[in-house]
């Protein structure tokens, strides 16, 4: 039987980044660039392995241009390995801000983990990751072979899907102490389950 209970572990430091300090209505690329640079600086100054929560609470609306300059470029830098963090989650999105984030990420073929209350969801270019994400929610902590078996897909396909979620910092990946198959093997955990 699979448990869907949300558990919080204390294996990661937390970095909260309130976007509200840049305004309630976010519109310009220059303001977004400042926000992105401040976020990158906070990540570099944080404890290694911090889980970053980008909090939009108090932000009423933002333009797609702001979202692209702030989050589009931020997630691109994460995927390229220019920034290192244990994970990133978006919080406090309302209907307006969620739409801007979704459009921005879809245009860049990116995905992000968002929390609606304590419920983890995906935003952005989610196909074919929705099926994968649902399985991740059920598995909680798992290896690629577990995901492949759950979805009846090849291990290579599972690894490709997991890479997209790791690049988006939605999944935390650590090397398994012992590999069942030889070579490197990783254990994955959804960032929403870490603190």
DSSP letter for 24, please. S
What Å distances lie between residue 58 and 22, 25, 38, 97, 132, CA to CA?
10, 9, 18, 10, 31
pLDDT digits (tens, 9 = 90+) for 67-91: 999 999 999 999 888 988 989 999 9
Domain that holds residue 56: 14-193
pLDDT one-digit tens code per residue, 28-73: 999 999 999 999 999 999 988 889 999 999 999 999 999 999 999 9
Whether 6 is in a domain gets the answer no
- 2 occurs within a structural domain: no
Task: Identify whether 27 is preceded by a cis peptide bond (ω within 30 of 0).
Answer: no
Q: What is the pTM (predicted TM-score) of this model? A: 0.84
Say which CATH number the domain at 129 has.
Answer: 1.10.10.10
Q: With contact defined as beta carbons under 8 Å apart, do 154 and 165 qualify?
A: no
Structural domain includes residue 54: yes
> Does 4 map to a domain?
no
Does residue 132 sit within a domain? yes
Strands lying side by side in the sheet with 186-190: 141-143, 186-190, 171-175
Domain count, the chain: 1
């Amino acid at each position: 039987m699979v448990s869907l209970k949300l558990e919080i572990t204390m294996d990661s430091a937390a970095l909260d980044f309130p976007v509200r300090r840049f305004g309630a209505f976010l519109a310009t690329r220059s303001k977004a660039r400042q926000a992105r640079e401040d976020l990158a600086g906070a990540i570099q100054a944080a404890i290694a392995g911090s889980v970053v929560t980008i909090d939009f609470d108090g932000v009423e609306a933002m333009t797609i241009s702001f979202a692209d300059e702030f989050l589009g470029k931020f997630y691109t830098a994460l995927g390229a390995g220019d920034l290192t963090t244990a994970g990133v989650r978006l919080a406090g999105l309302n209907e307006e801000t969620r739409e801007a984030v979704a459009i921005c990420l879809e245009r860049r073929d990116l995905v992000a983990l968002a929390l609606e209350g304590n419920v983890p969801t995906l935003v952005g270019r989610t196909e074919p990751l929705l099926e994968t994400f649902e399985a991740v929610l059920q598995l909680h902590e798992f290896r690629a072979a577990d995901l492949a078996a759950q979805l009846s897909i090849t291990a290579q396909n599972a690894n490709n899907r997991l890479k997209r979620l790791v690049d988006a910092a939605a999944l935390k990946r650590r090397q398994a102490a012992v590999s069942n198959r030889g070579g490197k093997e990783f254990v994955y955990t959804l960032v929403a389950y870490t603190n």
